[in-house]
Amino acid sequence: MSTLAEMLSRRFGDGGPAAEGTEDNELMRRVLQRRTVRRYSDKAPSEALLDLLVACALSASAKSDFQQVSILRLRDAKKRDAIGALFPAMPWIANAPAFFVFLGDARRLHQIGQLRGKAVANGTLEGFFNASIDAALAMQTMILCAESSGLGVCPISVIRNEADRVAEILQLPDLVFPVAGLCLGYPAAAGFVSLRLPRSVTTHTDRYDDSTLAAAIDDYDRRRNAIHAIPKAQQRSNDEFGEAAFYGWSEDKARQAVKAEGATFAPYLRKQGFSFD
Ligand SMILES: Cc1cc2nc3c(=O)[nH]c(=O)nc-3n(C[C@H](O)[C@H](O)[C@H](O)COP(=O)(O)O)c2cc1C
């Protein structure tokens, strides 16, 4: 079995802190080795396990104890196919043995206000943000618990690109919005640990400092390329940017981010009752 130091090296390869003197910890070992899984075996997770995972997800911490996540299990095959058909490049959405949608739910607090005769104003930016974070924490809690049960998962935020259609299919009311879907199933292949940015880039002590970013990103690109080079055929937007002789992570992410996603999400949220005041 790998040691924590070996796992840190595989995750970051940055020569950073190697956890000397710390005690072995199973959860941390799992987290350091975790990876997204998009292909699943035919074996379906049991209903009891899925119920347990939902309970674990709902045990995540929640801002002000407002408890603003709702979890929707999508069991209806027609509805799942309808959502999957919106994203043909991601067949795992329709094919995964189980699929959940994590919803930011700013509505329930309004309803509770009505029940108690109080005028609640939760369509604010703060209300939206709190509900989004609750949903994200619940999803990540389900992810870690699912992985510790031998399942593989893939979060699906692309559903927000078609939020109107998804909301129609799932009959989402005002102030309820999809944060992300989550595919679950037993992995069909081992997959791989994805190299993260060096900790010198993503961690700071006492003050923010990104003065060494350019060199660190070049180094990261080279190291990542040596492990998992992006094939020439997967270079994005070559019509616009041309074929790159060296196509690293940063070139890929910069090209990806030029085409901003989610243009329809803000109008969708405003229609759903968020004023963002
Ligand atoms: C909020 C969120 C949304 C994501 N959305 C998608 C998605 O729509 N489709 C997909 O295939 N993967 C999606 N992913 C998976 C990421 O692509 C994946 O986590 C990332 O490439 C890092 O890989 P790793 O998790 O194996 O380390 C999403 C991940 C997160 C955290």
Q: Each residue of 108-140: pLDDT tens digit?
A: 999 999 999 999 999 999 999 999 999 999 999
DSSP of 124-168: SHHHHHHHHHHHHHHHHHHHHHHHHTT-EEEEEGGGGGGHHHHHH
Relative to beta strand 152-156, strand 98-105 is: unpaired
CATH of the domain at 130: 3.40.109.10
Same domain, 32 and 151: no
Residue-level pLDDT, tens digit, the chain, 277 residues: 568 999 999 999 999 999 999 999 999 999 999 999 999 999 999 999 999 999 999 999 999 999 999 999 999 999 999 999 999 999 999 999 999 999 999 999 999 999 999 999 999 999 999 999 999 999 999 999 999 999 999 999 999 999 999 999 999 999 999 999 999 999 999 999 999 999 999 999 999 999 999 999 999 999 999 999 999 999 999 999 999 999 999 999 999 999 989 899 999 999 999 999 9
Residue 41 falls inside a structural domain: no
**CA 218 – ligand 1 centroid, Å:** 23
**CA 239 – ligand 1 centroid, Å:** 26
Q: Which atom of ligand 1 is nearest to the CA of 35?
A: 26
Residue 237 falls inside a structural domain: no
Any atom of ligand 1 within 6 Å of the Cβ of 156 = yes
Residue 128: predicted pLDDT: 98
Same domain, 118 and 169: yes
Same domain, 13 and 55: no
Any atom of ligand 1 within 6 Å of the Cβ of 155 = yes
Same domain, 7 and 66: no
**CA 111 – ligand 1 centroid, Å:** 33
Residue 203, helix vs strand vs coil: coil
Residue 219: predicted pLDDT: 98
Any atom of ligand 1 within 6 Å of the Cβ of 182 = no
Same domain, 156 and 74: yes
Q: How many domains does the chain have?
A: 2
Any atom of ligand 1 within 6 Å of the Cβ of 90 = yes
Same domain, 57 and 13: no
**CA 115 – ligand 1 centroid, Å:** 39
Same domain, 65 and 111: yes
Residue 215 falls inside a structural domain: no
Query: Are 103 and 68 a contacting pair, CB within 8 Å?
Result: no
The span from the CA of 161 to the CA of 87, in Å, is 10
User: In the listed set 191, 212, 236, which residue is the last one of a domain according to the structure?
Assistant: 191
Q: Which atom of ligand 1 is nearest to the CA of 38?
A: 11
User: In the listed set 125, 158, 191, which residue is the last one of a domain according to the structure?
Assistant: 191
Expressed as residue numbers, the domain containing 32 is: 1-18+25-36
Same domain, 54 and 179: yes
Same domain, 69 and 169: yes
For a mutational test of ligand 1's pocket, the pick from 36, 177, 184, i.e. the residue with the most ligand atoms closer than 8 A to its C-beta, is 36
Closest C-alpha to ligand 1, atom 20: 36
Residue 213 falls inside a structural domain: no
Which DSSP symbol is given to 44?
P
Closest C-alpha to ligand 1, atom 1: 157
Closest C-alpha to ligand 1, atom 18: 36
Any atom of ligand 1 within 6 Å of the Cβ of 36 = yes
Which residue type is seen at 177? F
Same domain, 106 and 51: yes
The span from the CA of 158 to the CA of 91, in Å, is 12
Residue 260: predicted pLDDT: 87
Distance from first CA to last CA of the chain, Å, rounded?
A: 52
**CA 153 – ligand 1 centroid, Å:** 9
The span from the CA of 65 to the CA of 68, in Å, is 8
User: In the listed set 138, 169, 191, which residue is the last one of a domain according to the structure?
Assistant: 191
The span from the CA of 156 to the CA of 134, in Å, is 16
Same domain, 76 and 8: no
Residue 93 falls inside a structural domain: yes
Residue 138 falls inside a structural domain: yes
Same domain, 177 and 93: yes
**CA 192 – ligand 1 centroid, Å:** 13
Any atom of ligand 1 within 6 Å of the Cβ of 180 = yes
Residue 231 falls inside a structural domain: no
Residue 177 falls inside a structural domain: yes
